[in-house]
């Protein structure tokens, strides 16, 4: 446990350094509790959460009529069974309020306006052009196990598969976006979960790990409140 205590000690200290990217370090900790956090926020059973996929690709919009086969990435895509269909939520984790950018808001706004079948078709199109097609095949394989897509043609182990979307199991609801942030953001267009909410959801957790994690959340929240007040005092 001493090693674990040291990890949290470093995180609590290093998050105050100018170039330290805390979000990239703590996302794995959040992933452990994401099922519980989302089930409580959305008021659903944990068993309804069928898959959580990190760094989920969202195809960039075409410019001047030219197709683009590249993506922005959501921190997590969460696939939930609702009314015998699969619905997708996109989750964005922030440890600093300043990192909520206009560009990011725009691509989430675009994604929110789409249905899941469109997102899936976009990923299939990106895979066709990507040099990392093996990784995309692995992602598509996970989506296949959710009965969202299927192999239309298998060209063998060392070649790209051809994929097709299965619409029968896909919810017709549009994508929902959820932000997890240290404090409440101003003018948030999406569902928001604050670190205070997370701490409340996890307050009955047992063991040193969850206690260390909650303490880290308190310190991140406090740091962001101090930064917010400092900026206000300059106005």
Amino acid 56: pLDDT: 96
Are 216 and 204 in contact by the 8 Å Cβ rule? The answer is no
For 117, residues 6+ apart whose C-beta sits below 8 A from its C-beta are: 165, 167, 170
Confidence of residue 189 (pLDDT cuts 50, 70, 90): confident
Does position 107 have pLDDT exceeding 90, yes or no? no
Mean pLDDT, residues 181-187 taken together: 88
Amino acid 15: pLDDT: 94
Confidence of residue 145 (pLDDT cuts 50, 70, 90): very high
Domain boundaries defined on the chain: 2-114+174-234
Question: The CATH number of 2-114+174-234 is which of 3.40.1350, 3.30.43, 3.40.1130, 3.40.190?
Answer: 3.40.1350
pTM of the shown model: 0.91
Does position 89 have pLDDT exceeding 70, yes or no? yes
Confidence of residue 186 (pLDDT cuts 50, 70, 90): confident
Q: Which residue did the predictor score with more confidence, 116 or 106?
A: 116
**46-78 residue pLDDT tens:** 999 999 999 999 998 877 778 888 899 999 999
Amino acid 36: pLDDT: 96
The separation between CA 174 and the C-alpha centre of its own chain, rounded to angstroms, equals 16
Amino acid 99: pLDDT: 78
Amino acid 158: pLDDT: 67
Mean pLDDT, residues 150-169 taken together: 84
Query: What does the mean pLDDT of the chain come to?
Result: 91
Does position 159 have pLDDT exceeding 80, yes or no? no
Q: How far is CA 74 from CA 59, 139, 199, in A?
A: 11, 14, 23
DSSP 206: -
Does position 164 have pLDDT exceeding 80, yes or no? yes
Does position 157 have pLDDT exceeding 90, yes or no? no
For 149, residues 6+ apart whose C-beta sits below 8 A from its C-beta are: 120, 124, 140, 143, 163, 164, 165, 166
Q: Is 128 helix (H, G, I), strand (E, B) or coil?
A: helix
Does position 235 have pLDDT exceeding 70, yes or no? no
Does position 170 have pLDDT exceeding 90, yes or no? yes
């Amino acid at each position: 446990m001493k090693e674990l205590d040291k990890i949290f000690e470093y995180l609590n200290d290093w998050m105050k350094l100018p170039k330290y990217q805390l979000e990239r370090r703590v996302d794995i900790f959040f992933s452990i509790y994401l099922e519980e956090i989302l089930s409580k926020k959305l008021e659903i059973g944990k068993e309804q959460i069928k898959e959580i996929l990190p760094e989920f690709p969202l195809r960039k919009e075409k410019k001047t009529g030219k197709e683009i086969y590249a993506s922005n990435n959501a921190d997590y895509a969460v696939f939930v069974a609702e009314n015998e269909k699969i619905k997708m939520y996109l989750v964005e984790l922030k440890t600093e309020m300043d990192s909520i950018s206009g560009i990011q808001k725009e691509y989430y706004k675009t994604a929110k306006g789409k249905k899941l079948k469109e997102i899936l078709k976009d990923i299939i199109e990106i895979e066709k052009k990507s040099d990392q097609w093996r990784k995309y095949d692995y992602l598509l394989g996970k989506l296949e196990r959710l009965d969202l897509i299927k192999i239309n043609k298998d060209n063998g182990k060392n070649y790209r598969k051809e994929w097709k979307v299965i619409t029968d199991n896909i919810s017709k609801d549009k994508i929902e976006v959820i932000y997890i942030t240290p404090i409440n953001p101003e003018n948030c267009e999406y569902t928001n979960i604050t670190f205070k909410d997370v701490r409340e959801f996890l307050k009955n957790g047992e063991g040193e790990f969850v206690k260390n994690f909650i303490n880290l959340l308190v310190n991140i929240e406090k740091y962001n409140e101090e930064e917010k007040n400092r900026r206000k005092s300059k106005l």
